[in-house]
Amino acid sequence: MQALSVTPFKEKGNSIIMKEYKEIRNHLIAMLEELNLRLTRITNDVRHVDAPLEKDFSEQATQNENNEVMDYLGNSARTEIEMIKQAIAKIDSGQYGICQQCGEPISKNRLIAMPYADMCIKCAGKAER
């Protein structure tokens, strides 16, 4: 069988998906911008751009504890940013809304509630157990 070099149907399909998920895509981009802002703020806090490190030992200990929390927040923000970027890439390539486990479509309600979900509710439930 000869492979076709032009795939108009697939492209058409993708554009329909794009239109269907346009709102979710916009929402994801807004989330991404907010997370980037938050991450910048966290990074500035850790680097003590605004507040110099306290010299007093007990206060310094508190400061270090705060840094650990900030590190954690920074890491979770970075993870979230990666998930959002992947979701946007999936929308653009027409792969969005497909469960990574079973290949079934993820319900739109779930995608609206959790735009970067990559598993359907059934598989996500199983994964949690």
List of residues contacting Zn ion (CB under 5 A): 99, 101-102, 120, 123
CA distance 68 to 38: 16
Q: What are 43's two structure tokens? A: 């990074």
* Residue among 61 and 112 whose Cβ is closer to Zn ion: 112
Dist. CA 84–CA 90, nearest whole Å = 10
Q: Least distance in Å: CB of 112 to Zn ion? A: 17
Residue type, 36: N
Q: CB-wise, 117 or 123, nearer to Zn ion?
A: 123
- Taking the complex as a whole, the smallest distance from the CB of residue 114 to Zn ion amounts, in Å, to 14
Q: How far is the CB of 127 from Zn ion (least distance, A)?
A: 9
Q: Residue 14 or 101: which CB sits closer to Zn ion?
A: 101
Beta carbons within 10 angstroms of residue 50's beta carbon: 8
CB of 14 to Zn ion, least distance (A): 22
Rg, C-alpha atoms of the chain: 21
**59 burial class (0-12, 13-18, 19+ CB within 10 angstroms)?**
exposed
Residue (41 or 110) nearer to Zn ion, CB: 110
